[in-house]
Amino acid sequence: MKIYFAGSIRGGREDRKLYQDLILYLRNFGEVLTEHVGDGELFEKEQELSDEQIYRKDRTWLEQCDVVVAEVTTPSLGVGYEIGLAESLGKKILCLFRTGAGKKLSAMISGNPRLQLKSYKNRDLAKVIIHDFLGVYKL
Amino acid sequence: MKIYFAGSIRGGREDRKLYQDLILYLRNFGEVLTEHVGDGELFEKEQELSDEQIYRKDRTWLEQCDVVVAEVTTPSLGVGYEIGLAESLGKKILCLFRTGAGKKLSAMISGNPRLQLKSYKNRDLAKVIIHDFLGVYKL
């Protein structure tokens, strides 16, 4: 199974370590195409690529993936765009929203019946949600 | 011409007055379906609607519009989602990014050849860009 993990990059990196932990967990279920989202040195590495190269690479991965897992707590244009594009490509999408972080989730995500949206309080509960989701879609 | 204006709502309202000003300007070119994005009492008014009602209303407007004008300076899941969905619907999309605000724009926007992306320094320059863009697509 090919998994596209989406998390905020230029919108804000405060949850970077959480993304890294979720990506490590996702690797139990298949190949995570976007492992770089959890990388602490991502900005340095991205400087080798133009924005158009980054866009084309991520778009290709979105087209190739079987499922999308998006962490949506930190507002991010990129994550929102990826969810909209993935939905139009007919992908199965799980959105994870952390409660208690003082963030408001967009109604375009929370009111969207085409997405699986789950709230969670801590990493362990996020992993239980991922396990349940990927168990259904395991390929 | 039907115009869908996209700006951050739950991602952060610090540019709300800018959105209001741009919406007033856009009304010179056609009907702005999403005038509420500039409204100072939006949160109070939205409480009358469920998130799914907001989602369905905005999605219908996106399907009906001729062009999308998105202010992308404040990171926002909703704006990103709307751009991804509008792109898949084949809409013409103008993204406006304000320089000097200390924000980094997502590569999914800045590296995307399917969007018209323009940077601007102040409101007057944003209006010149809108004028040039809507002059081409005027229906």
Q: Mind listing the pLDDT tens digit for each residue in A106-121?
A: 999 999 999 999 999 9
Contact B80/A at CB under 8 A: yes
The whole-number pLDDT of residue B55 equals 97
Q: Chain A: give the shortest CA distance to residue B97, in Å.
A: 12
DSSP code string of B4-18: EEE--STT--TTHHH
Q: Chain B: give the shortest CA distance to residue A124, in Å.
A: 24
The whole-number pLDDT of residue A139 equals 53
Question: Cα separation of A33 and A26, whole Å?
Answer: 11
**Is B7 a residue whose pLDDT tops 60?**
yes
The helix (H) or strand (E) run that includes residue A95 is: strand A92-98
Question: Cα separation of B37 and A27, whole Å?
Answer: 40
For Cα atoms B79, B82, B85, give the angle at the middle one, nearest 5 degrees: 150
Residue-wise pLDDT for B60-102, tens only, equals 999 999 999 999 999 999 999 999 999 999 999 999 999 999 9
Question: Cα separation of B1 and B4, whole Å?
Answer: 10
The whole-number pLDDT of residue B137 equals 65
* Mean pLDDT value across chain B: 95
What percent of chain B lies above the pLDDT cut of 70?
A: 97
The whole-number pLDDT of residue A137 equals 65
Give me A53's structure tokens: 């190269």
DSSP structure class, residue A36: G
Q: Which of B48, B79, B74 is nearest to A79 (CA)?
A: B79
Tell the residue number behind the tokens 């900005």, with chain if given: A43
Residues of A in contact with B34 (CB under 8 A): none
For Cα atoms B34, B71, B82, give the angle at the middle one, nearest 5 degrees: 60
Tell me which amino acid residue A78 is: G
Contact A128/B at CB under 8 A: no
Q: With 0-12 CB in 10 A as exposed, 13-18 as middle and 19+ as buried, what is A19?
A: buried
Residue window 40-69, chain A: list those with CB within 8 Å of chain B: 46, 50-56, 58
* Mean pLDDT value across chain A: 95
**Is A96 a residue whose pLDDT tops 60?**
yes
The whole-number pLDDT of residue A44 equals 85
Tell me which amino acid residue A91 is: K
Residue-wise pLDDT for B24-45, tens only, equals 999 999 999 999 999 999 988 8
The whole-number pLDDT of residue A105 equals 97
Question: Cα separation of B111 and A30, whole Å?
Answer: 28
Are the CB atoms for A1 and A29 separated by under 8 Å? yes
Question: Cα separation of A23 and A28, whole Å?
Answer: 9
The whole-number pLDDT of residue A81 equals 98
State whether the Cα torsion B71-B74-B78-B83 is positive or negative: positive
Contact A102/B at CB under 8 A: no
Residue-wise pLDDT for A31-59, tens only, equals 999 999 999 999 888 888 999 999 999 99
Tell the residue number behind the tokens 């990826």, with chain if given: A82
Residue-wise pLDDT for A123-138, tens only, equals 999 999 999 999 876 6
Confidence (pTM): 0.96
**Is B139 a residue whose pLDDT tops 70?**
no
Instruction: With H, G, I as helix, E, B as strand and everything else as coil, classify residue B41.
Output: coil
Q: With 0-12 CB in 10 A as exposed, 13-18 as middle and 19+ as buried, what is A62?
A: buried
**Is B16 a residue whose pLDDT tops 70?**
yes
The whole-number pLDDT of residue B91 equals 97
- The neighbouring-strand residues paired with B2 are B31
CA A9, B36, B58, B126: dihedral to nearest 10 degrees?
-50
